[in-house]
Amino acid sequence: MSNITKAVGQRIRNYRTKKGLSQEKLAELSGCHPTYIGQLERGEKNATIESIERITSALDISLSKLFEKLGGQDDFGNDIPLACYELLSAKSKGEQEQLYKILLEMDKYKSN
């Protein structure tokens, strides 16, 4: 599948885990099959607009939030800030804070 399909799937997984939902619970809330949710998250299936709308509604996020900062690059591997955003957004609030502190410390030493 395309990079955008994989990126959207990863975002769905990130928002789902951030909300503390299982794939089964998200499927129930969105009216989708749990297998379909898993396939989307792994980037194995292209989602329909209707299913994306139901999933974002179940996650209580806007369509624009799901798609923000996507599609600007042909190769997501070359977009380091986006890759960092994706990595951090998959972490818990506590892990995000710890990683941010580590980055600040690294930046301090780089400046010296």
Count: domains in the chain: 1
Predicted structure pTM score: 0.70
| pLDDT tens track for 49-99 | 999 999 999 999 999 889 887 765 544 456 777 778 778 877 888 888 999
Count other Cβ atoms within 10 Å, centred on residue 44: 13
> Within 19-92, where are the H helices?
23-30, 34-41, 49-59, 63-67, 80-89
pLDDT value, residue 71 = 66
The 10s digit of each residue's pLDDT in 98-109 is: 999 999 999 888
In this prediction, residue 112 carries a pLDDT of: 60
CB 101 within 8 A of CB 107: no
What one-character-per-residue DSSP string does 1-38 give?
Answer: --HHHHHHHHHHHHHHHHTT--HHHHHHHHT--HHHHH
In terms of residue numbers, what domain contains 98? Answer: 3-111
Q: Assign residue 99 the CATH number of its domain.
A: 1.10.260.40
pLDDT score of 11 more than 50: yes
